[in-house]
Each structure stands twice: as structure tokens, then as C-alpha cells.
Amino acid sequence: MAPNAGLVSTTVQVRNLIRRYDDRAVLDGLDLDIAPGEFVALLGKSGSGKSTLLRALAGLDYDVDGSGELAVPENVSVVFQDSRLLPWARVLDNVVLGLSGAFDRGRRSLDEVGLAGREKAWPNELSGGEQQRVALARSLVREPELLLADEPFGALDALTRLKMHVLLRKLCAAHQPAVLLVTHDVDEAIVLADRVIVLDQGRIVAEEVVELAAPRSSADPGFAAIRSRLLDALGVSL
């Protein structure tokens, strides 16, 4: 029998992951599976280990003390709270940086994020929301199997954030990457994710599968019930 026979395919498989800083376990025996195309949102108090987990999945913590098993695809894209565009490169050049001959794909990606016609703009000519759209185009033009997003909408105003939710849902439906989104916004997690997990002291302490129909509304009683359980897990009492 083949070694993997019977196993459901996963894009991310984390087993007993431990990461220590100064002998303190910031990730403390964490297990996590993410299925192909699954959208997982990650909540947790400040200091609970969210960014440490993202860094581990992105392969950016090879010099950190720890152990455990980590299976992650090779093709991973990351988006951050700030767009991290190169100020000296035009928008299209930012999108296709490092991808030779990809200008047509880059233009299509900019079209997908609603920025057709802005290819030759400089990053500082765009609003914060538009810069994050470019960052999404830059990630998705690489057709990642896994998209890691560290509070990508954290610096945007409420209205722009809502528009970005609609856009991200559309992009994920079209490209179907597995997603791990770190956010501090419980409603954002419930609106976007198939599953929401809560991290506390380096362990997953709660998990909610979100099966609400789209468009998801915070006025829905099912939404409110999930929010209330997540807030409980985060130690917030209302």
C-alpha cells in the first residue's frame, strides 16, 4: 500500500510544533491541518503566537529554536498589514517582480483587483486600499497553493475594509488557494473564513466551522452565536 493511502489531502499539516524564544515556548505543541482551498482565520490575543506560526509556515524561522513536523507547499505567498511595495517600481513592475515575461498575467491580476489602467502609476500615487489591492495582485499572480495574510486590512478604514472583504472572497473563489488569515477582528474572521481558530499561549484553544450562507451578516443569529463563543475563547466578556 502507498504510504499516504487513506489520508485526506492537506495543503498544510502541522504536528506538535514547538517554537521557543529564550526557553519560553511561544508555540507549544500546535497541530493544524488546512485543506486545499480552505480559508482559515486565526484569532488570538496579542502575544499568543500568531505571527510566530505564520513565520514558521512561511519558512522564515529556520534559525529559531524548536521542533515538530511541518508540511507546507512550495508555492506560498504572503501579504502583510502594509503593502510592502517597492517605491521606485511602477505598479505593474511591483506585481510581476521576479517573474520574467509575466506582464500579461500581471495586467490581468491588476484588472481582477479593480486597478486596470493603473499599471504605470507609482505606489505613492495610490491610496492605502489601492496599495493593498496591488499587494493582493502580486500574491495571486503567483497562483499560490497557500496564501498567508497577516492582518492585511488592519490599517484600512472600515468602509475600505468591507470592500476588501468582498474582493478577497471573489479572488479566493477564482484562485482557490488555501488561506491562513491572521486578524484581530472577530467579525472579519466570521465573514471570510470556512473555519476560525483561536490561539492562546501557543495552542489552539477553540475552533468554529462557519457554515453560514453568503452574504454573511452580523445580524444573523447564527453569526452572533459564533461571535459570542469566539469572544469567550478570547477571554472577552460582554
Ligand X SMILES: Nc1ncnc2c1ncn2[C@@H]1O[C@H](COP(=O)(O)OP(=O)(O)OP(=O)(O)O)[C@@H](O)[C@H]1O
Residue 176, amino acid: Q
- 3-class SS shares of the chain: helix, strand, coil, % to 5: 35, 25, 40
Residue among 26 and 95 whose Cβ is closer to ligand X: 26
Angle of helix 128-140 relative to helix 103-112, nearest 10 degrees? 130
Beta carbon of residue 14, minimum distance to ligand X (angstroms, whole number): 15
Residues 6+ apart with CB under 8 A from 218: 187, 190, 191, 224, 227
Please give the single-letter amino acid code of residue 236: V
SS3 state of residue 134: helix
CB of 201 to ligand X, least distance (A): 9
Q: Does residue 152 touch ligand X according to CB under 6 A?
A: no
- 47 lies in the binding site for ligand X (CB under 6 A): yes
Within positions 50 to 89, which residues make up the interface with ligand X, using CB under 6 A? 50-52
Q: For cell 486596470, what's the residue?
A: 116
* Interface with ligand X, residue 216, by CB under 6 A: no
Taking CB under 6 A as the criterion, the residue among 11, 48, 77, 94 binding ligand X is 48
The minimum distance between CB 54 and ligand X, in angstroms, equals 8
Q: Which is nearer to ligand X, 26 or 96 (CB)?
A: 26
Under the rule (CB under 6 A), what is the footprint of ligand X?
A: 21, 26, 44, 46-52
